[in-house]
Chains A and B, each alone.
Chain A
């Protein structure tokens, strides 16, 4: 019984430890006894024997190392993640091969496409490389002109005392807020249409 206390008490002490706001990917193998908390439900369970577990935690609405809520979109602000996990049975080598792309910039990178086109050994076949090269050319890149057209709108929004008018204009075009409109990758025509709607708020060039 004393042994049981010795084992349980350290586990309970660890219960107060804090999880930071990071994307967490965990893969584990066990051969023996496991007393653990299910990170997604908070419930405890006991396993006996051989077991494998995979777990991914995607926090929303918070930045790293803070409990503040700097974003307003709730689950909409969850970092985009592409993840693939290949693993062997422990009795067959137990090899783990994992690949992840986390964040908007990462998941849109051609490098991420290249990585995910590799096979389970981490090698890229000639056929896969050719197919990937052809398909990447069809993915539209962000329009530099549209990005440039957003700049005077963003400047006017920051300087304006009437931000509600900007939000109202954005909502009339189907965006949650003007900040949401600014954060999205849009075609030039849509940015120009917003500029025309908010023309009265944009200072004319000297």
Chain B
């Protein structure tokens, strides 16, 4: 299935991308699954999305959990903990 992925702030700089259209293989059905898929690219992807890093993930512009299901056409966003205000 196809999804849209966005990256923000320090994470965007680390992976060197603002976002992309991603074709997700069958079997990847959750937020954690997409994170693992991106991590498997290695290099900065592996380090920026490592489990030890505080990464927040939104699905369709709402905060999501690792177990949140991902469906075709969803917009996922990966970013560090927020620091506004």
Task: Judge: A and B partners, yes or no.
Answer: no
On B, residues with C-beta under 8 Å from A are: none
